[in-house]
């Protein structure tokens, strides 16, 4: 596992300018395997985000320059940085391998919305990793009799929602605990499956179908109509149209598997969009992720099951 995680880190570090890659590649393999993000801030030295917090990089003490940030975007987008920036709506984009680049800079506003970014000031390169077996401790608790319960995964940003979701999809699709299920994944950001030339870069199971690069609300309905899924999956439900698509799917008898940013159920209930989903009885299980001394812990709450 350490070797595989270190390999993922090196794949992400290959997006950096040459002068930064050497010190990154010389890091101890165990450290490489733990790195969650590479942080580049103009005027500050590069930093690594590990479970215990941020730290510097030995041998990289010079401040990051604006041209370094521009070069990372050129490498990551294969010289199509302008096109990628014009598509940034949520502050990030996903690149080959499933790695995600978060961006800060000066926003260009059109019709009241951010349509582009310029004068880039910082980048957060999140290392995408699979964690086979991560979902094993919770899978058996996500069933209502013989049916997979509609499940919502909660945690603050960066605590492993997507990683847990990806492994649940794999286990359900491969039939690791029960009969295998057909899983449809609406992968709007390309982060769950990391499709490249139509092939998932992560193991998401034998019976999984993916539609990526389009809004979740559209992708969910396309999967429902065209692929006859038994489970529909979406990462980070954030918009009313996402919730409406889930309600339509629930009424068709499809099990739901989704994530949302929240510290827990009480945090979720304070937001009108999620409160409506909870009050509708749409979800039968809620998985909450906690971080304790750098270790992720999972708690499963049983809600009122939606009638089959």
Q: Please check whether residue 165 is in contact with residue 187, taking contact to mean a CB–CB distance below 8 angstroms.
A: no
Instruction: State the chain's mean pLDDT as an integer.
Output: 87
pLDDT band at 306 (very low <50, low <70, confident <90, very high): very low
- β-pairing verdict for 47-50 and 53-56: antiparallel
Could you give the angle at the alpha carbon of 114 between the alpha carbons of 111 and 119, nearest 5°?
130
Q: How far is CA 188 from the centre of its chain?
A: 10
CB–CB of 69/149 below 8 Å?
no
CA dist 26 and 10 (Å) reads 10
pTM equals 0.78
Provide the percentage of residues in the chain whose pLDDT is more than 90.
51
pLDDT at 131: 84
State the Cα–Cα distance between residues 297 and 302, nearest whole angstrom: 17
Pairing of strands 151-155, 255-261: parallel
User: Which residues, including other chains, have CB under 8 Å from residue 15's CB and lie 6 or more apart?
Assistant: 72, 75, 76, 95, 99, 101, 125
Q: How far apart are CA 51 and CA 34, in angstroms?
A: 7
Q: Which of 88-102, 225-239, 282-296 is predicted least confidently?
A: 88-102
Q: Report how far residue 306's alpha carbon sits from residue 308's, in angstroms, rounded to the nearest whole number.
A: 6
Say whether pLDDT at 86 is over 60: no
Tell me what pLDDT residue 277 has.
81
H or E stretch covering 185: strand 183-187
* Residue 60 scores a pLDDT above 70: yes
Q: What is the mean pLDDT of residues 14-29?
A: 94
Would you state the structure tokens that stand for residue 301, as one six-digit string? Answer: 């709450």
With tokens 């310029």, the residue in question is 118
Task: Report the range out of 41-50, 72-81, 109-118 with the highest average pLDDT.
Answer: 41-50
Q: What is the pLDDT of residue 114?
A: 61
Total residues found in the chain within this entry = 308
Look at residue 308 and tell me whether its pLDDT is greater than 50.
no
Residues 6+ apart with CB under 8 A from 55: 47, 48
pLDDT at 151 over 90: yes
Average pLDDT over residues 88-93: 69
Provide, rounded to the nearest whole percent, the portion of the chain with pLDDT above 70.
92
Mean predicted confidence (pLDDT) in 102-123: 77
Q: Where does the chain hold its CATH 3.40.50.300 domain(s)?
A: 136-302
pLDDT for the residue numbered 16: 95
Please state the CATH superfamily assignment of the domain spanning residues 136-302 in this structure.
P-loop containing nucleotide triphosphate hydrolases (3.40.50.300)
Model confidence over 177-230: pLDDT tens digits? 788 999 999 998 888 898 877 888 889 999 999 999 889 999 999 999 999 999
* pLDDT for the residue numbered 2: 67
pLDDT computed for residue 307 by the predictor: 43
Q: Locate CATH 3.30.450 in the chain.
A: 2-126
Q: Which fold has domain 2-126?
A: Beta-Lactamase (3.30.450)
Residue 78: Cβ within 10 Å count: 10
């Amino acid at each position: 596992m350490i070797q595989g995680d270190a390999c993922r880190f090196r794949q992400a570090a290959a997006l950096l300018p040459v002068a930064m890659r050497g010190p990154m590649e010389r890091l101890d393999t165990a450290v490489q395997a733990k790195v969650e993000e590479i942080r580049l801030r103009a005027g500050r030295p590069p930093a690594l985000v590990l479970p215990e917090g941020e730290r510097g990089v030995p041998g990289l003490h010079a401040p990051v320059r604006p041209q370094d940030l521009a070069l990372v975007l050129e490498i990551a987008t294969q010289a199509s940085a302008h096109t990628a920036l014009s598509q940034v709506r949520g502050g990030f984009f996903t690149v080959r391998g499933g790695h995600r680049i978060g961006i800060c800079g000066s926003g260009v506003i059109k019709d009241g919305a951010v349509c582009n970014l310029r004068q880039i000031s910082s980048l957060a390169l999140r290392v995408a990793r699979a964690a086979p077996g991560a979902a094993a401790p919770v899978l058996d608790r996500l069933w209502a009799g013989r049916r997979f319960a509609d499940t919502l995964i909660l945690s603050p940003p960066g605590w492993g929602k997507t990683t847990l979701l990806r492994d649940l999809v794999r286990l359900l699709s491969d039939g690791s605990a029960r009969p295998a299920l057909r899983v449809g994944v609406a992968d709007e950001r390309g982060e769950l499956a990391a499709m490249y030339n139509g092939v998932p870069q992560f193991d998401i199971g034998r019976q999984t179908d993916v539609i990526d690069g389009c809004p979740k609300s559209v992708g969910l309905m396309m999967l429902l109509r065209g692929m006859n899924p038994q489970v529909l999956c979406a990462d980070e439900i954030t918009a009313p149209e996402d919730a409406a698509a889930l309600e339509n799917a629930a009424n068709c008898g499809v099990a739901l598997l989704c994530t949302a940013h929240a510290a827990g159920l009480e945090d979720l209930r304070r937001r009108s969009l999620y409160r409506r989903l909870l009050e509708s009885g749409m979800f039968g299980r809620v998985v909450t992720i906690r971080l304790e001394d750098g270790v992720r812990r999972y708690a499963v709450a049983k809600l009122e099951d939606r009638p089959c």
